[in-house]
């Protein structure tokens, strides 16, 4: 083992084959979680031979999974180097968060204007599930999944297919950035819950302006944490290579 680390072999391999799901889907889930939990660090090479040893699957399966991870924005392929975990610059992170603020503020406003009462109830239910995940300290990946459920409710209720497509692509691109934000400090997940509680309460009051403001404030707080995490990672990498 070189860059991927020999200590991860048994752990990753043991996670495959536990459930009745296609093998490729299981490997995809395992590697996705390894990236989002930073067992594979931003900028780290994902060497096919090592991934085969780690997971016990074929080269074809690994290549299919790496293509899927690239489509999700978690991996990029660099000529002469191969697959590498995505690593954003602070400037790229700032630009992406700026776009998120605009789009997600509009998403919240549209949800208030268009969602049915049942969809508002579904939003509260999704928020409660997120709150429970954070209280149980289930980890960054579990929090991201719970937040994705909440966003799915928002996207469905907003009823705008173009907004859904754009935000889905954006969230795929910033998955690792979202994970960095949540993992930036022990209090960040609880802070995110408090921010999203304000969003849900504004939605329940059918106050579109307050809902949009709450969402923009949430994205802004996430930006502060996420960008600082990216800066710290870039500094650590620069220090290690000097």
Classify domain 6-85 at the CATH class level: mainly alpha
* Maximal CA-CA distance, the chain: 57
| Per-residue pLDDT at 172 | 75
| Per-residue pLDDT at 179 | 86
Low-confidence stretches of the chain (pLDDT beneath 70): 1-21, 233-242
| Per-residue pLDDT at 177 | 84
| Per-residue pLDDT at 43 | 85
Residue ranges of the chain that CATH labels 1.10.10.10: 6-85
* pTM summary value: 0.78
In CATH, which of 3.50.30.10, 1.10.10.10, 3.40.50.300, 1.20.120.530 is domain 90-241?
1.20.120.530
The answer to whether the beta carbons of residues 179 and 74 sit under 8 Å apart is: no
Decide: helix, strand or coil at residue 81.
coil
Whose tokens are 């979202």? That residue is: 178
| Per-residue pLDDT at 194 | 97
b/e per residue 225-237 (b: at least 16 CB within 10 A): bbbbbbeebbeee
| Per-residue pLDDT at 9 | 44
* Beta bridge mates, 77: 83
Joined together, the tokens standing for residue 66 give: 């790496």
| Per-residue pLDDT at 239 | 65
Residue ranges of the chain that CATH labels 1.20.120.530: 90-241
| Per-residue pLDDT at 208 | 98
Distance of CA 201 to the CA centre of its chain: 24
| Per-residue pLDDT at 12 | 65
Q: What radius of gyration do the chain's Cα atoms show?
A: 19
| Per-residue pLDDT at 15 | 62
| Per-residue pLDDT at 21 | 62
Minimal CA–CA distance to 174: which of 83, 88, 65?
A: 88
| Per-residue pLDDT at 226 | 87
Dihedral sign for Cα 101, 104, 110, 112, please: negative
* Beta bridge mates, 78: 82
Phi and psi, residue 83, nearest 5°: -75, 135
Joined together, the tokens standing for residue 216 give: 């923009």
| Per-residue pLDDT at 184 | 81
| Per-residue pLDDT at 210 | 98
């Amino acid at each position: 083992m070189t860059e991927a680390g020999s200590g991860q072999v048994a752990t990753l391999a043991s996670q495959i084959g536990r459930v009745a799901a296609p093998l490729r889907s299981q490997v995809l889930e395992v590697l996705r979680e390894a990236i989002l939990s930073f067992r594979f660090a931003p900028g780290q090479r994902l060497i096919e031979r090592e991934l085969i040893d780690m997971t016990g699957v074929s080269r074809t399966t690994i290549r299919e999974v790496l293509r899927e991870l690239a489509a999700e924005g978690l991996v990029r392929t660099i000529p002469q180097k191969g697959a590498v975990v995505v690593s954003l610059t602070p400037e790229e992170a700032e630009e992406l968060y700026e776009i998120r603020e605009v789009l997600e503020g509009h998403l919240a406003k549209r949800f208030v204007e268009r969602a049915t009462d049942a969809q508002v109830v579904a939003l509260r239910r999704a928020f409660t599930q997120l709150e429970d995940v954070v209280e149980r300290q289930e980890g960054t990946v579990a929090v991201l999944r719970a937040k994705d459920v909440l966003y799915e409710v928002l996207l469905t209720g907003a009823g705008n297919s173009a907004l859904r497509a754009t935000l889905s692509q954006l969230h795929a691109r910033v998955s690792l950035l979202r994970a960095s934000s949540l993992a930036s400090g022990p209090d960040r997940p609880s802070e995110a819950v408090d921010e999203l509680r304000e969003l849900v309460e504004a939605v329940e009051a059918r106050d579109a302006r307050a809902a949009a403001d709450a969402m923009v404030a949430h994205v802004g707080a996430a930006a502060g944490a996420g960008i600082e995490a990216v800066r710290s990672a870039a500094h650590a990498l620069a220090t290690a290579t000097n």
